[in-house]
A = this chain, B = another copy of it.
Amino acid sequence: MHRTKVRIVEDALDANNTIAGANRADFDRAGVTVVNFMSAPGAGKTTLLERVVTDLPGVRVGVLEGDVEGSMDADRLAHLHVPVTQLNTGAGFGGECHLDANMVRSAIPALPLEEIDLLLVENVGNLVCPAEFRIGEDARVMVSAVTEGEDKPLKYPLMFRACELVVLNKVDLLPYVDFDVDRFLYNLDAVHPGVERMVVSARTGEGVDAFREWLAAA
């Protein structure tokens, strides 16, 4: 009697991770580091990128802009003369609320991978689903603004767990809002103990040097 040996392939159904791995391999072959930026809408991702894309000595930067529709952020960054590629998640009504590996894969032919060292991916503004989809990145950065409240790590814990760096932005507004930085960091440590964190104002430039150094070393 023949016995057929069944080989268990774990995670076989997770197409997203399979495609993320293929993206990862393409990025590695081109020697490009990829950082995935996630946040709620309006947390200041684009302003933060504007502060750094032209100011990383020796690092050639490209940007992949994810939006449901339109190219407003890409237009803002294109003025800075860095290569920007727009990736829209849907046309007209509907449209996905996050980037996934397959969407990023479809954008790879449009990316100038041979001309850049660092690809900054601006995900769709959303505190839930982007955390569930790897895209083949090296690191994930979560941007949270003081205007959103101290409770966000507790309300959207997966997002604050699924990242290597948390940037607390808009600290220039601290005198005008009810936000206790220590309380936020306490809540952050409750869901992701010890995760690297920075306190910045993309608008004024406060604290951005440390973020720039982190990116250059990424």
Q: Residues of A at under 8 Å CB distance from B?
A: 40-42, 67-70, 72, 93-97, 124-129, 132, 145, 147-149, 151-152, 154-158, 170, 172-173, 176-178, 203
**A/B interface sample: 23 pairs, CB < 8 A:** A40-B41, A40-B125, A41-B127, A42-B145, A42-B149, A42-B152, A68-B128, A68-B158, A69-B155, A69-B157, A70-B154, A70-B155, A72-B151, A93-B158, A94-B132, A95-B128, A96-B128, A97-B97, A97-B128, A97-B129, A124-B128, A125-B156, A126-B128
What separation, in Å, do the CA atoms of A147 and B44 have in the docked complex?
9
Q: In the complex, how many angstroms separate the beta carbon of A89 from the nearest chain B beta carbon? A: 9
Residue ID in chain B nearest A177 by CB atoms: B173
Q: In the complex, which of the residues B40, B147, B151, B158 contacts A170, with contact meaning CB atoms closer than 8 Å?
A: B147
Q: In the complex, how many angstroms separate the beta carbon of A51 from the nearest chain B beta carbon? A: 14
What separation, in Å, do the CA atoms of A40 and B124 have in the docked complex?
12
What separation, in Å, do the CA atoms of A157 and B153 have in the docked complex?
27
Task: List residues of chain B with CB within 8 A of the CB of A170.
Answer: 147
Would B42 and A147 count as touching, CB distance under 8 A?
yes
Other than the given A41-B152, A126-B127, 15 more pairs (CB < 8 A) read: A40-B42, A41-B148, A67-B155, A68-B128, A68-B155, A68-B156, A68-B158, A69-B155, A72-B151, A72-B155, A94-B132, A96-B128, A97-B126, A176-B176, A178-B203
Residue ID in chain B nearest A124 by CB atoms: B128
Interface-central residue, A128, A132, A145, A154, by most chain B CB under 10 Å: A128
What separation, in Å, do the CA atoms of A145 and B94 have in the docked complex?
23
Residue ID in chain B nearest A69 by CB atoms: B157
Task: List residues of chain B with CB within 8 A of the CB of A125.
Answer: 40, 127, 155-156
